[in-house]
């Protein structure tokens, strides 16, 4: 059975079944001083007729319940109202969907337009990919561009997006790759086990989404993680204990790092945890259930 959310979506709709009624604006004035003027303007012209149709023949879908686009579900300020003739109900869609979906006279015309768009995108991607691969080969960075580092990953993504790379970016990729290789050479395999005592230096503290949270609606809960280089040379990653977070907040007061946990970087730490080795890198490990954590 087709749900109301799917009735007018990309898969099921036919542009030929809809009749354009008028424009829609549901944004807000940039200042309270202009609210009356904006409302006065909206209370005349085509927008009035569009509102009346929505009130008289509402489709009880996304826009009616949440104020979002009846076609794709996105939030919008400017849009358009259409009358769905087979059901004699009015829907409201954002201006992007109005332009690219409901701006066609038939489903056939819409499908052909989408196919043309996908083919054009595929051609453009192939062109950029070929240019990116040539740039990688010409600059001799075939191995360096695959370095597992956020800077190199960002440059690589931009390279394949635009098909070009600057001399400064090439130099940076080589520098980061060389440093990463040197660090790798100086690293030792992770020691696995339960309730291991770990001593090392905090390299970074970051806030990440808690993928195991049962929360389905609203903001996704986050969790504080830390990366530690152990004294024997391996790196371990896991949840930052609350005691260390509290110590970081106190350090921020004296170091004046501007909030966050920047003050913890470079601090020596000691804690006990269960450690397992990464399947991809034997010098990198994951620790769980940290206890007895303290700065030393």
What pLDDT, in 10s, does the model give residues 259-268? Answer: 567 788 889 9
What's the whole-number average pLDDT of the chain?
Answer: 85
Question: Which of 169, 185, 201 is the last residue in one of the domains?
Answer: 185
**Residue 111, in any domain of the structure:** no
For residues 175 and 183, what is the distance between their CA atoms, to the nearest angstrom? 12
280 and 205, same structural domain?
yes
In this structure, the strands spanning 268-277 and 284-295 are antiparallel
**Runs of H (alpha helix) within the chain:** 35-42, 46-56, 62-66, 95-100, 107-138, 150-162, 167-185, 242-255
Mean pLDDT of 228-251: 91
For 32-57, write each residue's pLDDT tens digit: 555 555 555 555 555 566 888 888 99
Mention every residue, 6+ apart, whose C-beta is less than 8 A from residue 94. 69, 71, 72, 74, 75, 76, 78, 79
In a domain, 127, yes or no: yes
Task: Mark whether 54 and 85 lie in a shared domain.
Answer: yes
pLDDT of residue 221: 65
- Cα 134 off chain centre by: 29
% the chain with pLDDT above 70: 84
CB atoms within 10 A of CB 123: 10
168: number of Cβ within 10 Å: 8
Domain-embedded: residue 81:
yes
- Report the pLDDT averaged over residues 117-137: 93
If asked whether residues 230 and 160 sit together in one domain, one would say: no
Instruction: Provide the pLDDT confidence category of residue 166 given band limits of 50, 70 and 90.
Output: very high
- Residues 181 and 197 occupy one common structural domain: no
Q: Say how far residue 123 (Cα) sits from the centre of its chain.
A: 25
pLDDT digits (tens, 9 = 90+) for 185-219: 778 889 999 999 999 999 988 887 665 544 444 45
| Residue-level pLDDT at 217 | 47
Do 77 and 144 belong together in one domain? no
Same domain, 197 and 177: no
Same-domain check for residues 205 and 164:
no
Residue 85 lies in a domain: yes
Distance of alpha carbon 293 from alpha carbon 199, whole angstroms:
10
pLDDT tier at 88, thresholds 50, 70, 90 = very high
Question: Is pLDDT above 90 for 126?
Answer: yes
In terms of domains, do 88 and 125 share one? no
For range 3-28, the mean pLDDT: 85
Cα–Cα distance between 162 and 137 in angstroms, integer?
16
**Do 201 and 170 fall into the same domain?**
no
Q: How confident is the model at residue 156 (pLDDT cuts 50, 70, 90)?
A: very high
In a domain, 110, yes or no: no
User: Domain limits at 235?
Assistant: 193-210+220-295
CA separation for the pair 175, 149 (Å, rounded)? 11
**Residue pLDDT, tens place only, 97-120:** 999 999 898 999 999 998 999 999
pTM: 0.54
Instruction: Note whether residue 115 is domain-resident.
Output: no
Looking at residue 235, which CATH number applies to its domain?
A: 2.40.50
Q: How many domains does the chain have?
A: 3
Among residues 189, 204, 209, the alpha carbon closest in space to that of 282 is found at 189
Question: Does one domain contain both 199 and 287?
Answer: yes
Burial class (CB in 10 A: 0-12, 13-18, 19+), 277: middle
Do residues 170 and 198 both lie within one domain?
Answer: no
pLDDT above 90 (res 183): no
Output the six-digit token pair for 72. Answer: 């794709």
What pLDDT is attached to residue 68? Answer: 92
Q: Residue 287: name the closest of 246, 239, 247, 233 by CA.
A: 239
**Do 291 and 229 lie in a common domain?**
yes
- Answer yes or no: is 112 within a domain: no
Decide if 158 is inside a domain. Answer: yes
């Amino acid at each position: 059975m087709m749900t109301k959310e799917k009735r007018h979506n990309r898969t099921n709709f036919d542009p030929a079944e809809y009749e354009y009624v008028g424009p829609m604006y549901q944004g807000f004035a940039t200042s309270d001083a202009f609210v009356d003027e904006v409302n006065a303007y909206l209370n005349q012209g085509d927008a009035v007729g569009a509102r009346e149709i929505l009130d008289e023949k509402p489709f009880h879908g996304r826009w009616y319940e949440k104020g979002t686009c009846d076609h794709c579900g996105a939030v919008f300020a400017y849009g358009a109202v259409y009358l769905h003739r087979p059901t004699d109900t009015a829907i409201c869609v954002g201006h992007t969907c109005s332009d690219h979906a409901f701006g066609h006279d038939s489903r056939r015309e819409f499908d052909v337009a989408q196919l043309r768009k996908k083919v054009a995108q595929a051609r453009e991607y192939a062109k950029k990919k070929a240019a990116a691969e040539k740039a990688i080969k010409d600059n001799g960075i075939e191995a360096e561009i695959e370095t597992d580092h956020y800077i190199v990953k960002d440059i690589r993504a931009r390279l394949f997006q635009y098909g070009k790379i600057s001399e400064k970016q090439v130099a940076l990729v080589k520098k980061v790759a060389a440093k990463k290789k040197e660090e790798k050479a100086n690293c030792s395999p992770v020691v696995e086990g339960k309730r291991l005592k770990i001593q090392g230096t905090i390299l970074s503290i970051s806030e990440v989404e808690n993928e195991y949270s049962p929360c389905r609606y609203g903001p996704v809960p986050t969790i504080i993680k830390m990366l530690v280089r152990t004294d024997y040379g391996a790196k371990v990653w896991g949840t930052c204990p609350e005691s260390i977070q509290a110590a970081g907040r106190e350090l921020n007061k004296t170091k004046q790092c501007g909030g966050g946990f920047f003050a913890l970087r470079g601090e020596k730490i000691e804690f006990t945890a269960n450690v397992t080795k990464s399947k991809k890198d034997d010098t990198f490990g994951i620790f769980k259930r940290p206890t007895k954590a303290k700065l030393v």
